[in-house]
Chains A and B, each alone.
Chain A
Amino acid sequence: MNDSRKRLINGNQAIAAAAIDAGCRYYFSYPITPQSEIPEYLSLHLPEVGGTFLQAESEIASINMVLGASAAGARAMTSSSGPGISLKQEGLSYMAADELPALIVNISRTGPGLGGIAASQGDYFQATKGGGHGDYRIIVLAPSSVQEMYDLTIKGFDLADTYRTPVMILADSVLGQMKESVVMGGRKKSTPTKKDWALTGCEGRSPSIIKSLYLDGDKSSEHNRKLFEKYQRIQKNEVICELNRCKDADLILIAFGSAARIAKTSIETAREKGIKVGMLRPITLFPFPNQQVRDISTNIKDILVVEQNTGQMVEDVLISASENARVTFYGKPSGNVLEAEEILCQIERCMNKVGT
């Protein structure tokens, strides 16, 4: 169907457009490839809606500007890539402790170190296990199409406000640079929630404080327990994953983001060859779909985990899978992008083992 609302844009532009549609009016960042289209788009379009675009002196300053804007009650956002996200971890840890909502975008590089701008899922651990110092988690969303880059950005802002927590969009250059048609707007408008905790000056109320220092042992325990209970609520209520062709499958492939997208072609080809393979695609990486993986691996014993790294999400799969499940891992180190054909080879290898 020819839909006039469709636009051909890349994933980074979809994120930027979604931020504006989500009511985000404050964006602070520092330049880094391969996410440059985000600041470029927002520097042009945020001022048109009365928003603020500020290119900060550093990644550290930009996340702390986000911290300030969020503390002031605004929807705020920053974006970067691996090395920049490492620098932002200090601010992210404070924001998790301060219970400040914000959206952070990581269009990963192929680190460690400076790495390159090719395909990478090497930041899974950093994103899902806290990332900075201390005992905390942030919500991590993993789109696998340009439309999802748009939709999950809007959802990310809503989740951030609901749970008063930083939310990360984790993607890579495959998704950031690829163009696809996107339908924007038209959905239920995302509305920023009322924030009675925000710092606005204490006119007509007693002063508010946003802080993370608890020198008293009891108070510190209490605060950390409160955070922990929030993460449990998130784990209980917010898991999203896609199950595709799993009903009759002999083998379940588990992958997220760009790897899942590429694996879709492998699964189609395998099906054409009569191989019954389905896919479980985590869309929330934290909260990870532990229960879904457990349930599916109780019925279907063979699991193939595919990642564009040397093995990160597979650890969460191993924790979640039922005792009898046989989990095979195929990882391609960050750099050259995964190819549908090599994933197909792995599917065929796994199938040769099925039933043995």
Chain B
Amino acid sequence: MYYDVTIAGFGGQGIMAIGNILAEAAMREGKNVTYWPSYSAEMRGGTANCTVVISTNEIGSPVVAFPISAIIMNLPSLKKYQSRIRKDGLLIVNTSLIDQGEIQRDDVDIVKAPLISLAREAGNDRLSNMVALGIFLAKTQVVRLDSLFETFRIVLDERYHHLIPSNKKAIQRGIDFVTKLT
């Protein structure tokens, strides 16, 4: 099996965090994985993106020009990446920050999700990244939910450990959102 995803948005949206969680979970399932981050010089507010490749074979390039899937958290990222997603791939768009009219692809599976509202419903509107991860998981089943949960204590900084229950709730909210779509 081979799967890759590009996750992109503003710095501070937790882009790198969900990339790390996904990569760590895949590794724990015995798969080969690469995680490649790219960000601008600012600590906050700049653009941030990362690419995760998961495969049962040896992974060549960690850099993926044309990803199978993308989680897009803001408008600049949509403009940059939507044309690059492979045909029949997956595009998850944060409609809390992006006008749906900006979506131009009709040959990929598109999930339009108001991530901030969904995160608020789950109890913390800052966890839109986790909602997105839940959606991604439900759509792709590329890793198991329990593997994902196991990684929290490793990937998240200790000062955020008290937020682990709310993170789990936000992921679950994402999963439920997909279930209701189908």
Pairs A–B under 8 Å by Cβ, sample size 11: A2-B28, A174-B62, A178-B37, A179-B20, A179-B34, A180-B62, A262-B61, A262-B63, A263-B60, A340-B63, A340-B64
The answer, among A6, A174, A268, for a CB contact under 8 Å with B36, is: A174
- Which A residues from 174 to 207 make CB contacts under 8 A with B? 174, 177-181
- CB of A338 within 8 Å of the partner chain: yes
Residue ID in chain A nearest B35 by CB atoms: A179
What's the nearest-Cβ distance from chain B to residue A122, in Å? 18
What's the nearest-Cβ distance from chain B to residue A171, in Å? 13
- CB of A1 within 8 Å of the partner chain: yes
CB atoms of A6 and B27 under 8 A apart: yes
CB atoms of B66 and A8 under 8 A apart: no
- CB of A351 within 8 Å of the partner chain: no
- CB of B101 within 8 Å of the partner chain: no
- CB of A348 within 8 Å of the partner chain: no
CB atoms of B61 and A264 under 8 A apart: yes
A residues apposed to B, CB below 8 Å: 1-3, 6, 8, 10, 33, 117, 174, 177-181, 261-268, 337-341
Main secondary structure of the interface of A (DSSP, over half): mixed
What's the nearest-Cβ distance from chain A to residue B67, in Å? 12
Q: Tell me the complex Cα distance, A337–B37, Å.
A: 12
- CB of B119 within 8 Å of the partner chain: no
Residue ID in chain A nearest B29 by CB atoms: A2
CB atoms of A340 and B27 under 8 A apart: no
Q: Tell me the complex Cα distance, A33–B39, Å.
A: 12
Beyond A8-B23, A181-B27, A264-B60, whether A339 also contacts B65 by CB under 8 A is yes
Residues of B within 8 A of A266 (CB): 60-61
CB atoms of B60 and A338 under 8 A apart: no
- CB of B117 within 8 Å of the partner chain: no
Name which of A6, A33, A178, A338 has the most chain B CB atoms within 10 A of its CB.
A178
CB atoms of A180 and B34 under 8 A apart: yes
Provide the B34-67 mask, 1 if CB < 8 A to any CB of A, else 0: 1111100100000000000000001111111110
Residues of B within 8 A of A178 (CB): 34-37, 62
Beyond A2-B28, A179-B20, whether A8 also contacts B60 by CB under 8 A is no
Beyond A265-B61, A337-B63, whether A181 also contacts B33 by CB under 8 A is yes
Q: Tell me the complex Cα distance, A3–B32, Å.
A: 11
Residues of A within 8 A of B62 (CB): 174, 178, 180, 261-262
- 11 additional contacts (CB under 8 A) given A179-B33, A179-B36, A340-B61: A2-B30, A8-B24, A177-B37, A178-B36, A179-B35, A180-B59, A181-B33, A262-B60, A266-B61, A338-B63, A341-B66
Q: Tell me the complex Cα distance, A181–B29, Å.
A: 12
Beyond A179-B20, A179-B23, whether A8 also contacts B61 by CB under 8 A is no
